[in-house]
A and B are shown apart, each in its own frame.
Chain A
């Protein structure tokens, strides 16, 4: 009898062990964004496949991935990275290629290749969201109502400190748009020395009034504290501060810069098959639409758009808060990843030198 129990127990534990081995490690950006992914992707995925999802936070998942793959000690199966990083890591052979045929078609039968927004499918990456860098202001502290990106760089008209991300990317584009350059000409102009000089000249105008931020959670804090009156920010973080925490923060869509976040699989991922399953599941029409009910980032599939409904509070319509909403796209710039893969080193070098002087 005793032997039987012991045997049974050992069988049960080994079964439990085997079940536990079925897991997938997903690395993302933490905060309200990671929460939206846990709710919309991780939980339904575990419910459907019985595979446990471990959520790991990083400041920028591209960095630990590069280190892990180069050291030959990979613990992450899926990572959420920015566009230029996805391209760069893929070019360097650090990522598994992703077979697009594994991605499910839209409910109406449109194949995945047509259902995703242009550029969302790459050799080694599948986009899940469209996010954007926007200018936001605290309506309690700013005098008047700023309406255009030019107002951000005009401290005479709207006095007060400005928050900007400490990086050349997005900052230089905004500076040019703030100087009246139409979105369509920004990258052509930045490709020339005169264009770069012009962008820095615009930044020079407000240099003394800038507070630099680095983590995505900082700008809502700076705005709410009154430390700055206007700041660039990730639109989803502002939405969460405004809607979930009732802060008087307003997004100004003029001059927004759109970008993708993509799922990638590092070479040598320990649970490769699960990782593929996870990506195929998460970038399906419904999970992408669900994700948008937790944070205001747009789904990368066209078919998800119609399913986007209310915020998780049950009363806020999400559609007008999406960076991809038609009204918000009037003067919008799509981040040119190729430009940044190439020019990142040079422009950041100059940016750092400009900061230090």
Chain B
């Protein structure tokens, strides 16, 4: 060290071979960092490939849909723009222009392209997402596209008079650009009218906002219930001698290790109207045979089954913060004259808050995305938003709407996470 100081003419610290110490240190450190980076590289690549990229692609679909703009041939991957003539007409004429002969001629030319590419179904499906009943108009018109003669307006309206519907033209205009916010509008029960103003959809088709609210409400309720149930259990586990508490711990972990489906179907066996609970109540004469309780296929079933399934996620973080709490703190408080309630409130409870936060966050986030359990025991009014996301993924195959709903759900959870961070602080979280 003294050598180094002596060698440096400019007063800089240098190593024995004359390099500045700062540089040498930085180099050594960066090598160590690089090594460390290589160690995490497999995990990073794994997360990137299996998590970030697929989710990113999915979210991309929520505002980007090529159904009405590009046709990609399966196999060869050849991409051909479609509906180009119509898109050009939309560019030249502002919203609200009555479609004239030029517009219909553009449509007719595009229909011929659709027929040649066999892309009428794809284009029609895209329009059908926003204007029901229009899919078959496209497939039918494309089938006859070659035979259309001028004047095109008359010829196309002869095929189906609905082609004159201004709403259809509004939807086609929006769809002629791949980027659209309409799926997000649909995901909050809104749509555009013929003039492009955002309006609510018909009352008897509003469902998503309601389901978002219900999901939020039920998830909070379930989080609260798991907290109420888990707190005493965790306290008991943490204060019992290790020999006994281990045994009890197995009782908590056993269901945790059991398959989700097994647990859900077990609840079905218990709760159904010819199930164990109802049979016992009727057998004991507490309930008439006609008045069996409906505990399943409704919200009650969803709440009961999900509370049980998510309980370990609350017990374990609570246990992990309660275990190291020194019992002498509470004893000290009592000996200083605090009542047992005050001692709990002022001394014990504040020390468990990080565990409550972790448990609540875990349970809430899991509950918000729950899907199998409500699908099986939820019936009609116990469904959550995730069930409708699954519906659009699997049945209606409207992946853009599913992506928009999922993005809103993800955004909502992130906002709550941010709020949590602001209010309680994420550093305060203790998962175990």
Contacts and interface: CB of A to CB of B under 8 A. Distances in A.
B359 interface: no
B212 to A, nearest CB: 11
Given A63-B394, A356-B383, A225 B121 contact: no
A227 B273 contact: yes
Contacts of A207: 380
A211 B297 contact: yes
Contact of B74 (A267, A352, A353): A267
Interface in B184-226: 204-207, 210-211, 214
Interface in A339-354: 341-346, 348-350, 352-354
B381 A356 contact: yes
A40 interface: no
A341 B136 contact: yes
A210 B380 contact: yes
Nearest to A214: B375
Main secondary structure of the interface of A (DSSP, over half): helix
A102 B204 CA distance: 49
B189 to A, nearest CB: 9
A113 B258 CA distance: 53
Interface residues of A, number: 41
A293 to B, nearest CB: 32
Nearest to B138: A91
B207 A352 contact: yes
Contacts of B128: 342, 345
A256 B426 CA distance: 58
B383 A355 contact: yes
Nearest to B133: A342
A350 B133 contact: no
A214 B273 CA distance: 19
Contacts of A346: 132-133
B214 to A, nearest CB: 8
Given A66-B397, A93-B118, A212-B297, A227 B272 contact: yes
A226 B204 contact: no
Given A88-B121, A92-B125, A210-B380, A353 B394 contact: no
A92 B132 contact: no
A279 interface: no
B188 to A, nearest CB: 14
Contacts of B210: 356-357
B352 interface: no
Interface in A26-80: 59-60, 63, 66, 69, 72
A342 B205 contact: no
B177 interface: no
B205 A93 contact: no
A211 B379 contact: yes
Given A341-B135, A345-B398, A268 B206 contact: no
A63 B388 CA distance: 15
Contacts of B397: 63, 66, 88
A99 interface: no
A72 B75 CA distance: 7
A100 B396 CA distance: 29
A352 B388 contact: yes
B119 interface: yes
Contacts of B398: 345
A90 interface: yes
A88 B125 contact: yes
B380 A348 contact: no
A122 interface: no
A171 to B, nearest CB: 12
B120 A345 contact: no
B272 A225 contact: yes
B205 A350 contact: yes
Nearest to B73: A93
A161 B396 CA distance: 28
Interface in A304-346: 338, 341-346
Given A342-B132, A342-B136, A350 B122 contact: no
Contacts of B273: 161, 227
B62 interface: no
Interface in B94-133: 117-122, 124-125, 128-129, 132-133
Given A227-B274, A345-B129, A268 B74 contact: yes
B67 to A, nearest CB: 9
A93 B132 contact: no
B400 interface: no
Interface in A210-227: 210-212, 214, 225-227
B297 A344 contact: no
A344 B211 contact: no
A335 to B, nearest CB: 16
Given A345-B128, A356-B381, A60 B394 contact: yes
A267 B75 contact: yes
Interface in B271-317: 272-274, 297
20 contacts: A63-B395, A63-B397, A72-B75, A92-B125, A210-B380, A211-B379, A212-B380, A225-B272, A227-B272, A267-B75, A341-B135, A342-B133, A344-B396, A345-B128, A348-B391, A348-B396, A352-B391, A353-B204, A353-B206, A353-B207
Interface of B: 73-75, 77, 117-122, 124-125, 128-129, 132-136, 139, 204-207, 210-211, 214, 272-274, 297, 375, 379-381, 383, 388, 391, 393-398
Report the 3 A-B pairs with minimum CB-CB distance, sorted nearest first. Answer: A91-B121, A346-B132, A353-B207
Given A72-B77, A225-B272, A352-B207, 18 more contacts: A59-B394, A66-B397, A91-B118, A92-B125, A210-B380, A227-B274, A267-B74, A341-B135, A341-B136, A346-B132, A349-B207, A350-B205, A352-B391, A353-B205, A353-B206, A353-B207, A356-B207, A357-B210
